[in-house]
Amino acid sequence: MNTFKIAALAGDGIGPEVMREAIKVLRATEKKFGFKLEITEAPVGWAGIDSDGKALPEKTLALCKQSDSILFGSVGLPDRDATIPKEERPERAALLRIRKEFSLFANLRPVKLPKALAHACPLAKERQGDGIDILVVRELTGGMYFGQPKKTENLPDGNFRAIDTMVYTTPEIERIAHVAFKAARLRRKKLTSIDKANVLENGILWREVVTRVGKHYSDVTLEHQFVDNAAMQLVLRPTQFDVMLCENMFGDILSDEAAALGGSLGMLPSASLGASSGEKIFGFYEPAGGTAPDIAGKNLANPIAQILSAALMLRHSFGLNEAAAAIEIAVGKAIDSGNRTGDIFNPNESGAQKIGTREMGDAIAAAI
Ligand code: IPM
Ligand code: MG
């Protein structure tokens, strides 16, 4: 039997409760499709700091290295940030460190507004067209997140100066562009590349390189947009987008905006992949929505982003396409039968019932 090793790192805030539901759904899928998942849980984020003194404990990193993929919850509790140096905070010391350590340069964030959730989209019906269906491809290990120098300096006059550096090399842009073009090929064959070529050196190089790579994909239509225009186009005419290719920071911002159009940030999964070698592709799968400390531990969080992230893992890392599709279909069924967590609930919707995290997980597992 095919066996796959998963490191399950739930993290902080709503992480543990949404992870529990994703594992429930994975177990239902395992039973139905007859593969074996070895799921090992380990602490990360503030949970890691509390148990082992570090946001990414050695034993957690070791587990990740021995696994076929990482299923991640979320990390970060802003209320506790002031208690430790910024380099040791979970966002940098765990999340960004893992992205870099495993060279997970390609972040895929699929946004799809289900028909039944048209009411949860903040845009008027006519702007939703036949449905919003966008794949944000975000470069994840370059740009301003990692560029050096990155520091805050004291100035002689008592003020401070903060420096972040935006830096991209040709190969970094080429490899993410290939990922985006290949993804577009499997979809509606349109790629919109986002940059700020009217101001940034990085933008000029980005546009040049993406254009050059595009010559290898003559079946894909390539368009370029400045990032400010893209932010506006997303709310004016989101149906023009198929694949959006973004550098790290722009992708961070635009993927949250796109997620809101897809009904809720609580529905946005993501896959972070490195270079593929062989048939098992190591990947990192996480909901894009964060720890949401205000609703943590109250059975209020939407587990769908975590559950859809698990589906992406089955597809991209393990090649279990049928099982991945089964999870996505089960999510659709749970929504179609009126199950709504608070973030996608509208009291005026007939036939909808407001349920909790656990009940949403149950409904999806039952629909597998
Ligand atoms: C995301 C998050 C992270 C990012 C934070 C938590 C560091 O916002 O995955 O989009 O900025 O990449
Ligand atoms: Mg973000």
- Mean pLDDT for 158-163 is 98
Other CB atoms within 10 Å distance of the CB of residue 9: 31
Express each pLDDT in 106-143 by its tens digit. Answer: 999 999 998 889 999 999 999 999 889 999 999 999 99
Question: ∠ CA 273-279-285 to the nearest 5 degrees?
Answer: 30
112 lies in the same domain as 130 = no
Mean pLDDT of the 27-43 span: 97
Which residue's CA is the closest to the ligand 1 atom numbered 5?
91
Residue 11 CA: which ligand is closest? 1
For residues 368 and 290, membership in a common domain is answered with yes
**Which of 261, 295, 322 is the last residue in one of the domains?**
261
pLDDT at residue 197, rounded to an integer: 98
At residue 72 the predicted structure's pLDDT band, cuts being 50, 70 and 90, is: very high
Residues 227 and 274 in one domain: no
| 167 and 141 within one domain | yes
Out of 261, 282, 311, a domain closes at 261
- Let me know whether 178 and 56 are in one domain: no
Please tell me the predicted confidence (pLDDT) of residue 225: 98
Does the pLDDT at position 280 exceed 80?
A: no
User: Are residue 162 and residue 210 in the same domain, yes or no?
Assistant: yes
Task: Based on the fold, state whether residues 18 and 89 are members of the same structural domain.
Answer: yes
Which ligand is located closest to the Cα atom of residue 253? 2
Residue 319 shares a structural domain with residue 299: yes
Question: Above 70 in pLDDT, residue 278?
Answer: no
Say what the pLDDT of residue 279 is: 63
Distance from the alpha carbon of residue 155 to the mean position of ligand 2, in angstroms: 31
Which among 308, 310, 277, 294 has a CA at the least distance from the CA of 342?
294
Pocket of ligand 1 (CB under 6 A): 76, 91, 95, 252, 288
Above 80 in pLDDT, residue 221?
yes
Q: How far, in Å, from the CA of 72 to the mean position of ligand 1?
A: 13
Which CATH number characterizes residue 203's domain? 3.40.718.10
How many angstroms separate the alpha carbon of residue 303 from the centre of ligand 2? Answer: 17
Domain boundary among 215, 230, 261: 261
Ion ligand 2: residues, CB < 5 A: 252
Ligand 2 centre distance from Cα of residue 256 (Å): 6
Sign of CA dihedral 298, 303, 305, 311: positive
For residues 98 and 141, membership in a common domain is answered with no
Q: Say yes or no: 135 and 178 in one domain.
A: yes
- Mean pLDDT of the region 334-346: 96
Asked if 288 and 345 touch (Cβ cutoff 8 Å), the reply is no
Which one of 56, 139, 248, 252 would you pick to mutate in the ligand 1 pocket, going by the greatest count of ligand atoms within 8 A of its CB?
252
What average pLDDT does range 247-268 have in this prediction? 95
Index of the ligand 1 atom closest to the CA of residue 107: 9
Which of 12, 14, 56, 91 has most ligand 1 atoms within 8 Å of CB, for mutation? 91
Q: Which domain holds residue 225?
A: 122-261
Angle at 258 (CA atoms; ends 170, 6), nearest 5 degrees:
75
75 CA to centre of ligand 1 in angstroms: 9
Instruction: Judge if 159 and 285 occupy the same domain.
Output: no
Ligand sitting nearest the alpha carbon of 98: 1
Counting the structural domains of the chain, the total is 2
Examine the domain organization and report whether 225 and 296 are in the same domain.
Answer: no
Q: What's the average model confidence in pLDDT over 295-301?
A: 98
Catalytic amino acids? 145, 196, 228, 252, 256
